[in-house]
Amino acid sequence: MRRAAALAAFVIAAMALGRAITDLVPTGAAVDTPFTVEGRVGEPVDASFAEVEVTKVAVTPTIMGNPATKAGGRWVVVDTRITALRQPTVLYGATLVDASGTHHLASVRGADCTENPRLPTGIPWTGSFCFDIERSALDGARILFSRGAFGDNGDGYRRDSVADIHLGLEDPDALWEQTEAVNVAPAIVGTEQEDAR
Residue whose CB is less far from other proteins, 53 or 98: 98
Shortest distance, position 10 Cβ to other proteins, whole Å: 29
Nearest distance, CB of residue 92 and other proteins, angstroms: 14
Q: Which positions ≥6 away from 69 have C-beta within 8 Å?
A: 62, 63, 75, 109, 110, 111
Q: Which one, 50 or 71, has the nearer CB to other proteins?
A: 71
CA of 75: how far to CAs of 13, 147, 183, in Å?
57, 23, 12
Write out the E strands in 98-192: 103-105, 118-119, 125-133, 142-146, 161-166, 188-189
**Taking the complex as a whole, how short is the minimal distance between the CB of residue 9 and other proteins, in angstroms?**
30
Shortest Å distance, C-beta 3 to other proteins: 36
Exposed e or buried b per residue across 138-155, where buried means at least 16 C-beta atoms within 10 angstroms of its C-beta? bebbbbbbbbbbbeeebe
Residues 6+ apart with CB under 8 A from 150: 93, 95, 103, 105, 144, 156, 157
Q: Which is nearer to other proteins, 22 or 87 (CB)?
A: 22
Distance CA 116, CA 157 (A): 15
For other proteins, give the closer residue by CB, 106 or 175: 106
Interface with other proteins (CB under 8 A): 67-70, 72-73, 100, 102-109, 131-137, 152-153
CB of 72 to other proteins, least distance (A): 4
Closest C-alpha to 126, from 73, 48, 178, 196:
196
For other proteins, the closer of residues 5 and 29 by Cβ is 29
